[in-house]
A = this chain, B = another copy of it.
């Protein structure tokens, strides 16, 4: 079932993949998928081997006013990385960079579960959402790789609040600021 789910999510994306089709590909009854995984959301988290459920972290971000959302995103990312999930997150990032299907899954995960939630809570024209989301991802993913994988100093040893002070304004600009948007 998980193999079928991974293939479906990677190929058709989170929205396009249905539990019915995944059950069909795995040759089982859709009720069995529901029984084991509950919702499509939980199945997706299991398929991605998500080290943490964004629902545990997003409410804190969404509780911040729009003009503090950039700092909140950067703070959330470091809370996940500095917590017990770090080895699993690192494994996920490595896998995504090594395997095309895994990159597709991570992209879907980041898009559907994190970026859309953060962006969707802000008031902006629909056509801006994807572009602002991708720009936020570019800075956040770069921060993660630089601080935790390459361990480039002084970013690697900086306190979370120092990182928030330096990088938060960039994420804020991408979320709500004046940007010439691509696409």
Contacts and interface: CB of A to CB of B under 8 A. Distances in A.
A98 B103 contact: no
10 contacts: A130-B154, A131-B154, A134-B146, A134-B154, A135-B155, A139-B139, A141-B146, A142-B145, A158-B183, A169-B179
Contacts of A179: 166, 169
A39 interface: no
Interface string A111-139: 10000000000000000001100110111
A147 B138 contact: yes
Interface string A148-176: 01111111011100110111011001000
Copy number in the complex reads 2
Give the size category of A's interface with B: 35 or more
Contacts of A135: 155, 166-167
Contacts of A158: 182-183
A54 B75 CA distance: 34
Nearest to A90: B97
A34 interface: no
Nearest to A150: B107
A2 interface: no
A180 interface: yes
A166 B183 CA distance: 11
A150 B183 contact: no
Given A97-B94, A98-B94, A180 B165 contact: yes
A146 B157 contact: no
A97 to B, nearest CB: 5
B163 A182 contact: yes
Contacts of A137: 142, 146, 150, 152
The winner among A138, A140, A158 for most chain B CB atoms within 10 A is A138
